[in-house]
Structure 1
Amino acid sequence: MPPGTTGPQDPAATRTGRRESADERADRRWNDLLQEVRVAQTGSQILFGFLLSVAFMPRFAQLGDFDRGLYVVTVVLGALATGALAAPVSYHRLFAGHRLKPQLVDAAAQLVVVGLLLLALTVGSALLLLLRVATGSAAAAWIVAGVMAWFAACWLLLPMLHLRRHRGDRTDRRPVDRVGTGAGEVAAEAGPDRRRSAAGQTHGTARRGQTRLGRAPARPAKGGRTMATDDKMRNMAEKARGKAKEVAGRATGDGTMEAKGRGTQMKSDLKQAAEKIKDAGKD
């Protein structure tokens, strides 16, 4: 195994995060936000529509002053929640074409948070009104308090606990196998769709390096050493190409390419040893 390596590794196991531009990240966050809004809006609109119909029921006239006031508060909270959850649509229309997608996502996300809070209060208020009318018991307030505590646990406490538990997993890590030049590292860090192209870049870099080394101007030397110097340079270029093949093969999981790269390096080492023996004989 070449020095400085720890063996083949799966790049997907060590790579974290997404490689995306600011605009791509804003588009992804916006799509995620729309999915969240669709879920919250459905519950908010259904609940608000039900609350509007309560005032036209015969039993509504029999409600006491406290229950009537509670109903008004519930309807207002429902209207505010619906407005906050629908606000991202208006934001998008006004921001469209101004190249402010990241700012749009941040503002809409804040409104969604406000809308969720208002929706939770609407549910609690509506549940209190329903239990008071249905049971007339003072225990209705305690039941609503328990339900709101459950909402807080599901919507806030549990997500924050999971976020705190898994926050260490988001630490950016780079692959341990860093042997090779830039193209080899790209092949190890890139996703599955980019490994093949990165391996091709590695081979191209090795070929260009070999060409430059092969065409380097030879310096005149005593005793006919110019040809020997060219051979050494070719051997170095061949060894570099073998190393690039080995790194690219390890990064892409291509065992054949990795074996060929090692074979090329061994062949180059043998040629270099033969050159040294030949030079020693000449001296």
Structure 2
Amino acid sequence: MGNPLGGFIRAKRDSIQPETLGLPDRERRRSPGLRRLDLAARAGISVEYLTRIEQGRDRSPSPAVVNALADALGLTLPERDHLRYLARLSSSPCGADVRPEPPRRQVRPSVLATLRLLEPGLAIVTNRLGDVLAHTTGFRAIASDTGMLDADPPNLTRYVFTDRRARTIFVDWDAVADEQAFDLWLTPTVENSEWLTTELAATGGPEFTDRLRHHRVPDRGPLRLDHPTGPRLTLLRETLELPGDGQQLVVFLAADDQTAETVDDLRRRSSGPLRSIS
């Protein structure tokens, strides 16, 4: 995935119109956005140093420089957190000796026990690649007719970008696609997601690669589904991070009465034990 820190800075710089920062309208440029010269001046660093950061030749900028760049780019709080995360990721000593491989897929017994306590609710255990590692019967009830769990093992990122049904199921497909692409940057190491990124670059096409390159920090609002069997579902999400495992426990809650009634109806049609996929 190359140089994520420099890629994020370049993406944000290219997205900024100089006039929005009170800068003069200069001559027509060959590329859009804020010039390196202007960003470096706003951040109080040299153009040469900014160039080294963007090109990945300097991977350890100080916290003061990272904060100055965040101020100069006018980043939102989530974007600032992402910039700091990428700076830590960039400076970590994971070099060529780290083999590309997916993060762990096994779910701890205590996490599975927690998932059972959530029955018959809607909950899953997933990782940042989008692998669904375990799920309740309630989640299977709403997902079984959508194709989300068809693959072996199921992977939500691959589903969103390669399964045509996803664009019909997810009302806000663009927002969901932003989330899945962004989360690939949050795997334990860049190498963890390299194998999936390579695959999706070919199969997902520009819809995937553009999102990965631009680091769009998602809002993660309610999840809206046009379920194949009937009414629209609107689900709120609560996420519990499991940092030792690089996994998340996600609980879905009905946002309105119609959704609650539809979920209850789907659960009545479905039966079976909690599913763990490793």
TM-score (norm 2): 0.20
Query: Larger strand proportion, structure 1 or 2?
Result: 2
More helix by share: 1
